[in-house]
Structure 1
């Protein structure tokens, strides 16, 4: 407990320090603990420390952990991995957020499959800001059309945009990619969409993301350690 609590406090300290520097936007930054590949016991330990939002990349892992941790009433699951259209139902039924909507078909299935007794499913449009062929996400040029279409769907609430930048040690390139997402959000707000979320920044680059306006950072390694 001491180790994971210390790591959690350290990450929260990094976020607070980044918020003191000049940055785009305002308000708080939420921490999403990325628990993929780590056991349910690690999630429970961090929940006991005070963390409530957890991110999973794989549908079956989400289903398994949600069943194991059903007794934690305030736990909020965020799905942050690529989502195939034939696997949307369990995500629509379990998750509070989906960060990786990159085509209208996925959004339509999530909308149709979201149980009506649950609150609307919070969703973000994933944008491929690096242009890498290996990355999921809609291109920046097509992001606005997708966002406007998703915003009209029932039982979904479009919250904002998400990106996974190119893995590079070049801070200028990273900053430019985060800035692309921020500028897209600002463009969509001018078109009338009420967006409040920029999901960007991970263990190695959360300070740069916060500088460019991130409102949610997705952190795994700095909390749980290296994945095997």
Structure 2
């Protein structure tokens, strides 16, 4: 399996190669290392290998890790899991990014609970394939949600996130990813600060990069299978 540092290097190389194959700059896609259920020691190993972007799915687990690693103050913490309204405060107070905003109520609460000294970066989660089992706004709701979030003074709208349906036919998955890319491009014409299209994981990373992803979320390929 190799060490975390070695697997991290392989993931970064795969991203670089996928970007080049898509005729994109090698540095146009960021790697978000997903550390849910993994111990703090794993994060430290990745940090010591030079990585700084980490994603957590569970509020309390993420906050605990942030507190334990407070001395490593150049880590950028991303909350990528579903967020209930009764758990917005610790996210607003501790994380740098939230990828999973799918309704205005959650965005409003994060805004109200965030310190005015440092804005919270926001991605709207889109349920691109309208799956009943997944959270996310529909494509038709994105424009209105973006308009409202962009007016909240303690938040900065940075882009979109999605988890597309796993398809045996790659062309069907490509269609979903390209629809996200089109929506992202349309938003960028209205909001110049938008720069992040968070899509793609270990299983579909090259395809997501081909379709315009600027940030991929990778966990098990770096840290091993979850328990």
Shift of 1:167: 2.3
Q: How does 1:1-228 map to 2 (within 5 A)?
A: 3-22=3-22, 28-117=28-117, 119-190=118-189, 192-194=190-192, 195-228=194-227
Structure 2 SS opposite 1:55: strand
Matches of 1:28 and 1:159 in 2, distance apart? 15
Instruction: Name the TM-score, length of structure 2 as normaliser.
Output: 0.95
Kindly state the Cα deviation for residue 185 of structure 1 after the two structures are TM-superposed.
1.1
Per the alignment, in what secondary structure is the counterpart of residue 21 of structure 2? coil
Secondary structure of the 1:138 match is coil
In 2 relative to 1, CA 25–128 (structure 1 residues): closer, same or farther, beyond 3 Å?
farther
For each residue in 1:145-168, what CA deviation from the matched residue of structure 2 results, as whole angstroms up to 9, or x when unmatched? 111111111110000000011123
Which is worse superposed, 168-177 or 158-167? Answer: 168-177
Distance 1:163 1:65 in 2: 25
* 159 and 26 in structure 1: CA distance in 2 versus 1, 3 angstrom threshold: farther
TM-score normalised over the length of structure 1: 0.95
**Structure 2 Cα separation of the partners of residues 26 and 212 of structure 1:** 15
Q: Which aligned segments of 4 or more residues in structure 1 are displaced greater than 4 angstroms?
A: 23-27
Q: CA offsets per residue over residues 50-79 of structure 1, 9 Å max, x none? A: 110100000011111111111112111100
CA positional deviation for 1:138: 0.2
1:23/1:213 contact within 8 Å kept: no
SS at match of 1:176: helix
SS at match of 2:135: coil
Q: Note closer, same or farther for the CA distance 1:139–1:53 as it changes in structure 2 (3 Å cut).
A: same
Change (3 A) 1:52 1:25: closer
Pairwise CA distance, 1:27: 5.7
The runs of 5 or more residues in structure 1 that have no matched partner are: none
Q: Partners of 1:162 and 1:74 in 2: how far apart? A: 23
The size of the alignment, in residue pairs, is 226
Q: Is the 8 A contact 2:16 2:26 kept in 1?
A: no
Give the distance between the partners of 1:25 and 1:183, measured in 2 at CA: 19
SS in structure 2 of the partner of residue 159 of structure 1: strand
**CA distance in 1: counterparts of 2:60 and 2:151, whole angstroms:** 29
RMSD: 1.6
